[in-house]
Structure 1
Amino acid sequence: MATSSSSSMTLLLLVLGASLAASASAATFTITNNCGFTVWPAATPVGGGTQLNRGGTWTVNVPAGTSSGRVWARTGCSFNGNRGSCQTGDCGGALACTLSGQPPLTLAEFTIGGSQDFYDISVIDGFNVGMAFSCSTGVGLVCRDSGCPDAYHNPNDVKTHACGGNSNYRVTFCP
């Protein structure tokens, strides 16, 4: 049988744990289409996708603790409701992607962590749309073509950047 002081300590630890979990914030991704054509941005593992006309913006909240996240533009898409296909970046015909896209695709990759986030651009799986990717407190990356010096071209490149934990991000297609 628990004593009153051990019950109070257990309750205090539970409240403290709940408070810490509640204080873990999400990162907000603001995704903008500056291309002269419609793109269908996708985001995993947050299970997202939408149609984004020229000049349009899509906001995605990514929970703290999200690892191996990706954002990319799909092009040449045709959807009927939630099903369809895209010429680049297709994710199994789904409007709201839960799978990674098929090459070629320019990727914004991220991990939203505790005290530090990490982010990069990758063209390892090809290049389909120019992209700028930045966090509120870090280096801005710009990739306008397949030879992009700011992007990973192979897995051994060292192109990952750090940012303050749970920062906000901007992804711009056709910067």
Structure 2
Amino acid sequence: MNSIFFLLTLLFITYTDAATILVRNNCPDPVWAAGVPGGGKRLDRDQEWTIDAPPGTKQARVWARTGCNFDASGKGKCETGDCNGVLECKSFGVPPNTLAEYALNQFGGNDFIDISLVDGFNVPMEFSPASNGCTRVITCNAKINEQCPTELKAPGGCNNPCTVFKTDEYCCNSGSCNPTNFSKFFKERCPDAYSYPQDDKTSLFTCPAGTNYKVVFCP
């Protein structure tokens, strides 16, 4: 009897440490939502897609792809966020793309969540908890594409300087770096979001393990 109770308890804990990520497109044009884990799906305006993230998932992300064209077999290409030319992503997208990143049930029994512009920006985004009493809403809803510095402009988006210049100053390859004029451009417009790789202090947030989430494009 005790072993059965233990097994049921273990199954309950495992289940509650998983997360459902509801992805919604509020943009006027279609986006091709992508997730690792998750795959990918075309979303017209007001359409939604659900990702079931397994317990303990880490280094996970959700993003929007734009300007895509796929054939019946799910092969094609996107202007931003392309993942090796397939509809069902198994790898991360090509910059520039706005990222919702998460890791489930990590240190202290918490989920860690953020919006990152370390891979640049293509679509405004909101990333928010949808259960478990967690209320921290993260947003990046600025007109970054229109205001993008000339050096960082890319078709359909705005690159992060690491993508363009590939230097330690911008990429933090040595493990230590500071804000730059380019990272400050992103931070001033989206103070909740990562603007460079070591921007943890003002950009990384937690919710209790077992929380479900919502990602909205063009909130």
Structure 1 length-normalised TM: 0.87
- In the alignment, the residues of structure 1 paired with residue 55 and residue 8 of structure 2 have an alpha-carbon distance, to the nearest angstrom, of 15
Question: What is the distance in 1 between the residues matched to 2:30 and 2:209?
Answer: 32
In the alignment, structure 1 residue 144 sits paired with structure 2 residue 141: yes
Higher helix share: 2
Contact 2:38 2:52 in 1 (8 A): no
Gaps of 5+ in 1: 1-7
CA contact (8 A) 2:99 2:115 kept: yes
CA distance in 2, matches of 1:141, 1:50: 23
Quote the Cα distance in structure 2 between the aligned partners of 1:112 and 1:140. Answer: 17
2:13 aligned partner, one-letter code: S
Structure 1 residue 16: deviation in Å?
2.8
SS in 2 for 1:120: strand
Corresponding residue for residue 5 of structure 1: none
The one-letter code sitting in structure 2 at the alignment partner of 1:160 is L
- CA deviation vs aligned residue, 1:8-51 (integer Å, no higher than 9, x gap): 9xx93x9735741453122111111000100001000x241000
Contact 1:138–1:161 (Cα < 8 Å) also in 2: no
Aligned residues: 164
Q: Which one is further off, 17-26 or 69-78? A: 17-26
Query: Deviation of residue 128 (structure 1)?
Result: 0.1
Q: Distance in 2 between matches of 1:94 and 1:170?
A: 24
Q: Which amino acid aligns with 2:69?
A: S
Larger Rg: 1
| 1:24 and 2:7 are equivalent in the alignment | no
CA distance in 2, matches of 1:17, 1:88: 45
Q: Does the residue aligned with 2:43 lie in a helix, a strand or coil?
A: coil
Structure 2 unaligned blocks of 5 or more = 145-185
1:54 Cα deviation after fit: 0.6
TM-score, normalised to structure 2's length? 0.70
Give distance in 1, aligned partners of 2:57 and 2:33: 18
Which structure shows the bigger proportion of residues in strand conformation?
1
Alignment check: 8 A CA contact 2:38 2:53 kept: no
| Counterpart for residue 92 of structure 2 | 100
Q: Pairwise CA RMSD of aligned residues?
A: 1.8
User: 2:127 — aligned with what?
Assistant: 133
Letter in 2 for 1:140: V
Identity of aligned residues (%): 45
